[in-house]
Structure 1
Amino acid sequence: MRTIVNNQRKERDLLLSRPYLPRHTKYDVEELLASRQIKLITGPRRTGKSTEALLMLKNRNFAYLNFDDGKLLNAWDDDLVLESLQQVYHGFEYLLLDEVQNLDGWDLWVSKLYRLGVNMVITGSNAKLLSSEMATLLTGRYIQIEMLPFSLSEFFLWNHKSLSDNLSEDEAVAQSLINDYLHFGGYPETVAARSLTQNYLSTLFDSIVWKDIAKRHNVRNVEDLNNLAMYLVSNFCNPFSANELTDALGMSSVATTKKFMGYLREPYLFYYLPRYNNKLKLMKKAPQKVYVVDNGFVAAKAFSLSENLGRLLENQVFIELVRRGFDTERSLFYYRSRNDKETDFVTRRGPHVDSLIQVCYDLASEKTLKREVDSLIECAGELKCQNLLIVTMSEERRIEKNGYVVKVLPINKF
């Protein structure tokens, strides 16, 4: 065991020696580390959770265990691991547990460490597994930090640009970067090698479906699971119901479809957006809309005969809203009026509707402009909301109609 821990220390030191782009976060690192609460960093695979944890702990005395290591898992012994950590990292102040969900019974072990007073930073790629089990054993004893692929702002910083600069001075370069991000997303390992993006993300997608989901849940009919994943990524931003999916894909039952949908959500691959309704029962019955965690997966895996720039922009806006802390359980929805007019996103703060957001790639057509504005205003009337916004690819203006003011913002200013 000591040899395994020593080898992982060499791995840790090698990772620490590399240059990284610091990520945007609302948390103060010093304040986080001073807290005895467990720091739980979650998010999709390969989005920089381990890097973020390493940057938080850099220049501090911390121990490191990587649970993607089969040798560590096969030789696991609670007491021997703690003994080896003390020998290799004498007097360590913090403990980083990377991809801890791979260890059977990890929650009991983490609970034991917490009682012993160990200050822990944990990373993991399974939302349900981590949050539900942490909530069961360690309610109120952890802080969850969610990591997603690079935002547009971070993508610009990677390319030595800033969204806060006057982009008109170098508009062609800025629009090229925005367009690149729209199509290929922000996975950290793809932004420096765009020619490899589709191959990398195709492999990652398959790995999540076949390894993180099928293997973990002992799925026997993996072909049905994969067909569902491919259908969802090809129909991103569209409404669906479990009954419709079952019929369209020839699934064995609606219950199986719902179960597989849950599995695909766990590793942060897909999000399901409910239709807003004051009555919870009606909201649960309405069709949901599906979004994918990164536009790059669309380019890599979606079966499509034509490019849909509007949906790519909508997906990008959705993920940005999630990045800002809105979630599909309590504060982020879509809405359809009594006359069947739709608003892409409804944000809520507490019990009150905070804003309505429409996404439209191009408002140059008067017909398109009228459709989008009228839908937004009709939904605003029903939801009693005055904060109205249309996000576009590049247009900016202010529209006044029927006593409402609609702000139009380009994606870079949004």
Structure 2
Amino acid sequence: MKSAVLNQRKERDRLLAEPYLTRQTVYDFEALLQSPNIKLLTGPRRVGKSTQAILMLRGKNFAYLNFDDNELLKGWNEEQAEMLLNEVYPNFQYLLLDEVQNVSGWDVWVGKLFRRGYNLVITGSNANMLSGEMATVLTGRYLEIKMLPFSLFETSSFNRELTKDDYLKNGGYPETVSQRAITQTYLQTLFDSIVYKDVVRRHKIRNVTDLNNVATFLLANFTGTFSYNDVADDLGLSSVATTKKFMDYLHEPFLFYYLDRYNNKLKLMKKAPRKVYVVDNGFVSSRAFSLSENLGKLLENQVFIELLRRGYDTEKSLFYYHSRNDKETDFVVREGNKVKQLIQVCYEMSNEKTEKREVGSLVECAGELKCDNLTIVTWNDERLIEKNGYAIKVVPVEKF
């Protein structure tokens, strides 16, 4: 175990010496570090959580343990680990625990460290850390920092040769941005790895074929609505309960997100069909789905992930909406109990019929939700449309 800790010290020092792109973020990392609460960086695998944690702590005396390391896990002993940390990192001020959910009973151990006064920075690739373990053991004692793949702005800042068309189709996973030739192979492997490591292995899934079928179905139907009954029927699965369980499992590693239909009555909201989104457009192209037929869906998915990046939450502040006449608005942004903004996504509106449909849907939903902050995100179009007393901002995606 000591050799693992020493090797990781070398890994930490190597990581500190490398140049990094500064991420666009809504967080004040210096202020976060001053808090005694646990700093929890969450998000899917390989989006830069470890890098961001390293950047947060650069210039500070911090200890480091990476639990994506079999050498560390196979000889794991928490008391010995604490002793070794104090030996290898004398008088450290912060403790970085990378992918800590890989340790059995990690939440109890983290609770002990917190009570002993350690200033902790933790990364994790599983949403269940918040809804389950972390929430149970450390309620009110952690601050969450959500990480996602690079935005369009970050991608073009990192590699100025990449166009917005490239980003729409290939996404923003950091390791593919500088090596677009490997994108498809890399993301195929990453997708399978996430399903296996974070779902199959974690939950001891026996029927891996059905799980993979559910994952493929969700990827093929991204931005579409679903009910658990429909998914089970389409895939020929005998159990709706198992279908729901598999879909919940596929959300845990931040691979898929599910968006509720907005309704003031929670019971009705939960009964309505939901929409499914994938964490990065590159996963769609990596599975060889027809991109030319999906440009509008890819743009909608890109806007959804951008809204998550801005801090909106599918549990509290981000929804879609159907009017009483079945007109749809892609995104309802809420702050507190008030609807702040309605956002429609339309790849192009050069066709008069298309414009009439999109504007009509948005205006009808605006009337029902009593919101006058209306936006249509497009590929290239930019103008102001006035309709029924509403001023609708039409903006190209790069300006959005």
Partner Cα separation in structure 1 for residue 229 and residue 304 of structure 2:
25
Deviation at 1:76, TM superposition (A): 1.1
Following superposition of structure 1 onto structure 2, how do residues 185-200 of structure 1 map, counting pairs within 5 Å?
185-200=171-186
**Residue number in structure 2 paired with 1:25:** 25
Please list the CA deviations of residues 30-58 of structure 1 after superposition, one character each: whole Å capped at 9, or x if unmatched: 21212111110000000000000001111
Partner Cα separation in structure 2 for residue 112 and residue 349 of structure 1:
36
Deviation at 1:305, TM superposition (A): 7.9
Whether the 8 Å contact between 2:285 and 2:291 is mirrored in structure 1 is no
**Residue number in structure 2 paired with 1:220:** 206
Following superposition of structure 1 onto structure 2, how do residues 250-329 of structure 1 map, counting pairs within 5 Å?
250-301=236-287, 303-304=289-290, 306-329=292-315
Which AA in structure 2 matches 1:207? S
**Residue number in structure 1 paired with 2:362:** 376
Partner Cα separation in structure 2 for residue 198 and residue 375 of structure 1:
36
CA-atom RMSD in angstroms? 1.2
Whether the 8 Å contact between 1:233 and 1:302 is mirrored in structure 2 is no
**Residue number in structure 1 paired with 2:235:** 249
Which AA in structure 1 matches 2:300? E
**Residue number in structure 2 paired with 1:77:** 77
Partner Cα separation in structure 2 for residue 144 and residue 28 of structure 1:
12
Deviation at 1:130, TM superposition (A): 4.2
* 1:239 corresponds to 2:236: no
Partner Cα separation in structure 2 for residue 302 and residue 286 of structure 1:
31
Aligned residue for 2:176, secondary structure, equals coil
Whether the 8 Å contact between 1:124 and 1:130 is mirrored in structure 2 is no
Whether the 8 Å contact between 1:230 and 1:302 is mirrored in structure 2 is no
Whether the 8 Å contact between 2:39 and 2:122 is mirrored in structure 1 is yes
**Residue number in structure 2 paired with 1:347:** 333
Partner Cα separation in structure 2 for residue 48 and residue 24 of structure 1:
12
Alpha-carbon distance change, 305 to 56 in structure 1, aligned in 2, over 3 angstroms: closer
Deviation at 1:28, TM superposition (A): 2.0
Partner Cα separation in structure 2 for residue 29 and residue 339 of structure 1:
46
Whether the 8 Å contact between 2:223 and 2:277 is mirrored in structure 1 is yes
Deviation at 1:252, TM superposition (A): 2.3
**Residue number in structure 1 paired with 2:53:** 53
Aligned residue for 1:386, secondary structure, equals coil
Aligned residue for 1:145, secondary structure, equals strand
TM-score (norm 2): 0.98
1:396 to 371, 382, 399: 382
**Residue number in structure 2 paired with 1:337:** 323
Deviation at 1:346, TM superposition (A): 0.7
**Residue number in structure 2 paired with 1:164:** none
Please list the CA deviations of residues 311-370 of structure 1 after superposition, one character each: whole Å capped at 9, or x if unmatched: 000000000011111111111111111111111111111111111110001010001010
Whether the 8 Å contact between 1:73 and 1:103 is mirrored in structure 2 is yes
**Residue number in structure 1 paired with 2:197:** 211
Partner Cα separation in structure 2 for residue 305 and residue 388 of structure 1:
28
**Residue number in structure 2 paired with 1:165:** none
**Residue number in structure 1 paired with 2:144:** 144
Deviation at 1:306, TM superposition (A): 4.8
Please list the CA deviations of residues 184-209 of structure 1 after superposition, one character each: whole Å capped at 9, or x if unmatched: 00000000011110100000000111
* 1:10 corresponds to 2:36: no
Which AA in structure 2 matches 1:334? Y
Whether the 8 Å contact between 1:388 and 1:405 is mirrored in structure 2 is yes
Q: Gaps spanning 5+ residues in structure 2: where?
A: none
State which drifts further: 306-315 or 218-227.
306-315
Deviation at 1:59, TM superposition (A): 1.6
Deviation at 1:248, TM superposition (A): 0.3
State which drifts further: 367-376 or 293-302.
293-302
State which drifts further: 130-139 or 258-267.
130-139
Percent identity for Structure 1 against Structure 2: 67
Partner Cα separation in structure 2 for residue 302 and residue 378 of structure 1:
37
Aligned residue for 2:163, secondary structure, equals helix
Aligned residue for 2:175, secondary structure, equals coil
Which AA in structure 2 matches 1:100? V
**Residue number in structure 1 paired with 2:64:** 64
- What count of residue pairs does the alignment treat as equivalent? 400
Which AA in structure 1 matches 2:216? M
Aligned residue for 1:120, secondary structure, equals strand
Following superposition of structure 1 onto structure 2, how do residues 29-178 of structure 1 map, counting pairs within 5 Å?
29-160=29-160, 177-178=163-164
Please list the CA deviations of residues 131-159 of structure 1 after superposition, one character each: whole Å capped at 9, or x if unmatched: 53212111111110000000111112112
Q: Gaps spanning 5+ residues in structure 1: where?
A: 161-172
Which AA in structure 2 matches 1:403? G
Partner Cα separation in structure 2 for residue 182 and residue 28 of structure 1:
29
**Residue number in structure 2 paired with 1:361:** 347
Deviation at 1:302, TM superposition (A): 5.3
TM-score (norm 1): 0.95
Whether the 8 Å contact between 1:190 and 1:196 is mirrored in structure 2 is yes
Partner Cα separation in structure 2 for residue 363 and residue 382 of structure 1:
24
1:182 to 152, 168, 171: 168
Whether the 8 Å contact between 2:199 and 2:250 is mirrored in structure 1 is yes
Which AA in structure 2 matches 1:396? E
Whether the 8 Å contact between 2:129 and 2:135 is mirrored in structure 1 is no
Deviation at 1:19, TM superposition (A): 1.3
Deviation at 1:16, TM superposition (A): 1.5
Which AA in structure 2 matches 1:138? L
Which AA in structure 1 matches 2:113? L
